[in-house]
Structure formats: C-alpha cells, structure tokens
Structure 1
Amino acid sequence: MSSDATSSSDQIDPRIDESAPEDAGATGQVVENVESTAASLAAEGVARGTLGDVANSLGISSAVALRALRGSDEIKPQMAARVREAAERLNFPIEELSEETEHRGVVAILVNTMRNTWISDLVRSIRIELTATGRTAVVVPTRRRVPEYPVAADTDAIENLVHLGVDGFLMVSDLADMDSVLEATGNRPLIGIGCSREFVGRFDTVRIDDEVGQGLLVDHLVGLGHREIAHVGGVGAAVARERADAFRAAMARHGLSDVARVEPGDFTEQVGQTAGSMLLRGSRVPTAVTCANDVTAVGVLSAAREAGFDVPEELAVAGYGNTSLASSGVAQLTSVDPNSDRLGALAAQFLVERVSGHEGPTRDVAVAPSIVVRRSTSAGPRPETTRRKRISVE
C-alpha cells in the first residue's frame, strides 16, 4: 500500500474530533462544507466524489477518511459516522472499497518525461485514490527517439504492460502519436490528465482550464499596471498552443490585443532562456512575461539576469504549474496552481469506474486552477521615463 495514504503523521482535525465538545456551529459548518462540495461536483458535471472530496469537505486527510470508511478501530464512532455520511452525500463509491490487505491490480501512469516536477504531485494524488480500491500505480516514461521521427511513443513498452495485465492507463499530458498509443493499449481503458482539448470525446479527460489559468495571470499583471505583456510558449505540444491562445484571449478581454506578443517556446528551460533573450534584446521590451510552465519561466529568469534586468522591478515573470521550482527561495515565482490533487484523484476515479465496467459516454472535466502570487510579480512597471534604454542587437 502507498505510504502517501497511510502516513502515521496524518492527524484528525480537532474541529471534528469526537473528543471535543459537541458544537452545533462546527457541525453546521461541516454540513455546509459537504453541501458546498456536492454543489461544486454538480457544477463540474461529476456524478461521484473522490476520496479527496470526502476528506476535504470534513477538514481531514484522505488517509483518515479511508481508515474511517474501512471501519478502523482507531477512528472513533462519531468520526466514522460523519465520514460515511459525507461519502454517501457525495456519492463516493463505498462499495468499491477494498480491505487494507487486498491488492487487485496495477495501473500504469504514462508520461513523456520524468523531469517534470508536476508529475510527482499528480502521482501522489493518484496513488491515494487508487489505494481505496486496493490498486497501486507505476510510472512509465514512454518517450522514445528514433531516427525516422524527432519524437515517438514507446508503444512496445505499452504493449508489454498490457501483456503483464495492468488494469488500465492514465496518460499525463499529450503523448506523441496517439493513434499508435491507443492501439497499443488494446482494450484497456485510458484516461487523459492535463491533456489538450483535441482528445475530448476520444476517451475520458480531466484537463486544466487553461483559459481560466492564463486569465488569472493576465488579470493579476494588468491589475499591477502592466500593459506590454508577452507570453513564452505556443510550440511543441497542443497544450502549449492552447495556453498561448488563452493568453491572447485574456489580453483581448482587457483591450490589449495590439500589444499581446507570443514568443515561440516549448516546456524546456533552455528554450525558455532563448525566448527570454529574444524578448529582452528587441526595441520593444515587455514589462511582464507569462510562460507555458514553471521550467520555461526559470529559463526566462536566467535570460533576465544575463541581460541585467531586475525582477520584478524591471520585468515581472510568471510561470504555470506551481511546482517546487516556483516556490524555491531563488525563483519565488508567481505561478498558476492547476489543483493537481483534484486532477489526479478525479482521473483515478474515472479509471476505476471504467475498469469496473462503466460503459457510459466519454467524460470531460476542466478543473479550475488558482493563482499563487510570489515575489517575481510583486511590482508594477516602471514609468517610461525611468526605464533603462536597451539597444537593439542586429
């Protein structure tokens, strides 16, 4: 069983601990939280809540919620009753819970690369949700380079997983050559996480609402007084193009289409640094830059340092993904938090339902992200008269 779901450090929130005196106000707040969660699920078009939804609505960890639903002796009766009531209200599939010692199958998480720190956040939430049904997950890199193609999916690895008897697949972001990938998965269900809109309808998808995410960044920067805002991204994957389009739409909403600039870049630090250098060496230098992900933003920060631009005084920089890179003491990068816990848990639930025989139409959920503001965007643009003049390089 995954230690993510059973850490001994998990504690019951004292607000709903049975040892505390009964408080009608606290009880009312718990009911309100559960009802609010149910309303949010209905708004997303999701029929069943996840283990995380049950836990969050009560202010406890997923591990405590799971132990309560399994009838563990260490959970007091009043707590267990509240967890079960919340689970029933949120339509969590209690009947699919396994005993702690059961192991019914393995799920494969297909990724392009292991270098993306966002993946670790997703994997943790996926494993917590799968633990409830006695399943575990393995992470499998699928990117293979061959002479004939710049990038190709390792379909041999996927076929071998099918032969080994995996229950199904969770795909993080878009994989190369999806037709071949789907053929390799055979009759096993596949769920897309954080993938592009172009796969909606082909299989169940749980996506980041990038229109909301880029909108949050642009709204934040415009609120600080920035107008000349650029975006680094738009190439290398359909998701990158969609985020660039979302940036343009957000700028248009503020009447800034004429100054919205997209500098081509993918999801790598090296390309981010090159794109940042191009933005900062021209005759028209932006005062703020949003990026396709946090790794790209780190590249832009490097370009700013090399060009002698102070961040955020002369250049505000924002990332996407809210990874450990963004929160590091060196970067202190404003970033969009994609709500990885929600993405991973919901995708895991969809897969368990498909494995259990659900044959309904394909589902698509766009999870709303939030913005985490840090030092990299803590200042508005300098007045024109105090900006340093940059010499355009031929």
Structure 2
Amino acid sequence: MAVTISDVAQAAGVSKGAVSYALNGQPGVSPDTRERILSVAKDLGWKPSLRAKGLSSAKAYALGLVVARDPSLLGTDPFFPAFIAGIETALAEHDYTLVLSVATAPGAEERCYRKLVENGRVDGVILTDVRHDDSRIPLLLELKVPAVTVNRPDAGSPFPAVSVDESAGIIAAVEHLVALGHRRIAHVGGGQEYIHGRNRREAWEKALGAAGLPADLFAAADFTAAGGVAATAGLLRQADRPTAIVYANDLMATAGQSYAQSLGLSVPGDLSITGYDNAEFTQYLNPPLTTLATDPMLWGRVAAQVLLNQLTGAGRGEDTVLPAPRLVVRASTGPAPTDPGPARH
C-alpha cells in the first residue's frame, strides 16, 4: 500500500500538519524537525500524490491534445503514435499526464478546449495541425491557457512554436527527381487549410520553378490512404500524366504506389514515387519507398518540454526549429521513362 502522510507523521512522532509543512517546503516547523520528517519520509518510500498535490495547488498536472481528424488516422498514420509517444516521454519525467481528445463533429473541437480548460483538467495544451488564420489562437487567449503550437501560425500568435523546415525536404525530393530526368512531377498534398499542407505545396512549386518546370499537377488529399488513391487516380488520368509524384506523407505514397501498380504501371520504370516521414514500413515495400526522414517522436518530446518550461517557470518558451527532413533514396525512384505512355483509367 502507498505510504501516506499519516504514516510519516506517526513514524516521525509529529502531527500531519507538520509533515505537510515539511514536505511542501512551507514555514511552520523548525529546521531540525523538517530534516527529521524528510529523512523518515525517504526511509518509508513516501511519494507525493499528484491528486492531493493538484488539489492543494489548483493544478491538474496534465497537458491537453485535441485532434480534429478521423479517429482511424491515429492508428493508420505512423506520425501520430510516434508524436504522442514523444509527448509521453517528456511528461513522464515531470509526473504529468496527457489528456487526449478526438473531435470530429462540427463545433466539437472548440467544446473540447473549453471543457478541458474550464473544468481544470489541463494546465496547458499542445496545438497541432495549425491552420491558416487559425481560430484556435484567439480561443486559447480567451481561455487564458498556456500553449505551444506545432508549426508557427501565419496569423499573430503569442505562443511559442516548435517547427521543422518542411520546405527543405520537399525541395530535396523534387531536385532528386529532376536530376533523374523527370519533367512532369506531380504533388499529392494534404489539406491546404493546414500550414504544413500549404508549406509542402509551396516548396514543390518553388523547386519546380527553380528548374524551369510547370507546377500544374497538384491534387489535394487528406493524408489518408483512400485520399492518396483518389488523388493518384486523378493524376494518372491526365493526358500528359506525371512520371513522378511527390506525396505529402508515407501513407498516401504507399497507397498511391499500390494503386499505380494495380494499373500495370512499373514503379519506378513508369512512375517514380516519394513519400514523407520515413515510417518504418516504407523500407519493406516492393519497391522500398524513397522518402523524407523526420522524427515525430522528437517533435512531440520537444513540444511537451517547451510547454512544461512555461508551466514550471524554467523558460520563457522561445520558438524551436528542429532539423530539416533528410532525403532517403530507395528503389521507388528511378530515371524518367522516355515514353510515359497514355493516361491510365
């Protein structure tokens, strides 16, 4: 059974009030008594109760994460489990917990934030999937809750951001394909309401522009496998179809590669494909996927630590930029075909 302050009081021969003063570093006991109580507590293996500590300090000792995506994506897209694991790694070192909410119904996201904050369930929140002109920034300011954003919002935000230079990775992927002789390079991007979806598209456009190539083969999707298939199908129906496709994540790239192969296309003989994230399974595909290596676990850990620094007063919460994605070349990319062939239906 857990050791209580009553056990410590009895063993030290003092009142529970004296134990509380000593353990919480408050005045009310002499230095000798405080030292004796702390020694007894250590010998008994006493550990603070977060519930009791929270009640006494009006803190929840928890951080909130609200995800407004299809719940199935949490299990199918490797980014989210790794990102959440990174958060948990940081929180475990500080005896904090993570409160995760999935909000997909209209208005559910705002209700989740209000409920978490107004009911005192969290001390701060991690804001992911930052959007263009994100309405959650003024909401969190209204709720007066500390926060950290995963990517810097394009509208004004007083919260520290933890970002990755996504542009560098996409540019590296396009330059790799251009060097292989590709001139019809498409992009299957995520939702353009997201900052990261928009950043990746703009980087693709910039890289093609630098190579003197048109950026006219874009298809928006939703980061899911089904979305990747639908976007790939649309691109391959083009009369002047692409010979290479740069995808905004590995899940869409994997689904797109499988779909192209089901049409009889050779990867990379007829179509080169690149992904984004370097999920572990991508090295075992046939062919293995050329992709951009990121570290979502590091992203989650740093985001949580930046927020904890605000809550504990250990730092002001400055912006942090993580290392840019690294291009990992595998067998899904190869020289451009001399004859791309007709559109595929």
Answer yes or no: is the 8 Å Cα contact 1:266–1:292 preserved in 2: no
Report whether the alignment pairs 1:219 with 2:171: no
Give the match for residue 280 of structure 1.
Answer: 236
2:337 match = 382
Structure 2 residue aligned with 1:335 = 291
Structure 1 residue 260, shift from structure 2 partner: 5.3
Q: Give the corresponding residue for 2:94.
A: 133
Structure 1 residue 346 corresponds to structure 2 residue 302: yes
1:363/1:244 CA distance change after superposition, 3 Å:
same
1:158 pairs with 2:113: yes
Higher RCO (CA < 8 A, seq sep 6+): 2
1:112-127 equivalences under 5 Å are: 112-113=68-69, 114=71, 115=73, 116-127=77-88
Given the alignment of the two structures, is residue 245 of structure 1 paired with residue 205 of structure 2, yes or no? no
CA distance in structure 2 between the aligned counterparts of 1:335 and 1:277, rounded to whole angstroms: 21
Tell me the distance in 2 between the aligned counterparts of 1:211 and 1:145.
32
Q: What letter is aligned with 1:218? A: V
Alpha-carbon distance between aligned partners in 1 of 2:323 and 2:149, rounded to the nearest angstrom: 13
User: How do 1:91-110 and structure 2 match up within 5 A?
Assistant: 103=50, 105-110=61-66
- TM (norm. structure 1) is 0.63
User: Could you tell me whether the CA contact under 8 Å between 1:107 and 1:166 is conserved in 2?
Assistant: yes
Matches for 1:1-394 after TM superposition, within 5 Å: 103=50, 105-113=61-69, 114=71, 115=73, 116-141=77-102, 143-146=103-106, 152-162=107-117, 163-174=119-130, 178-180=134-136, 182-183=138-139, 186-193=143-150, 195=151, 197-198=153-154, 201-233=157-189, 235-238=191-194, 239-256=196-213, 258=214, 261-329=217-285, 332-357=288-313, 360=316, 363=319, 365=321, 367-377=323-333, 379-384=334-339, 387=340, 389-391=341-343
Distance 1:197 1:226, change over 3 A: farther
Q: Counterpart of 1:221 in 2: which secondary structure?
A: helix
Pick the structure with greater CA Rg. 2
What CA distance in whole angstroms lies between the structure 1 residues aligned with 2:222 and 2:309? Answer: 34
Range that drifts further, 196-205 or 165-174 = 196-205
Identical-residue share of aligned pairs (%): 27
Distance 1:276 1:285 in 2: 10
Structure 1 residue 206, shift from structure 2 partner: 1.1
C-alpha displacement of 1:259: 5.6
The Cα of 1:309 is off from its aligned counterpart by 0.8
SS in 1 for 2:292: strand
Unaligned stretches of 5+ residues in structure 2: 1-44, 54-60
Tell me, in whole angstroms, the C-alpha distance in 2 between the residues paired with 1:264 and 1:237.
10
Residues 1:277 and 1:354: Cα distance change in structure 2 (over 3 Å): same
Give the alignment's Cα RMSD to 1 decimal: 3.0
- Paired residues, number: 283
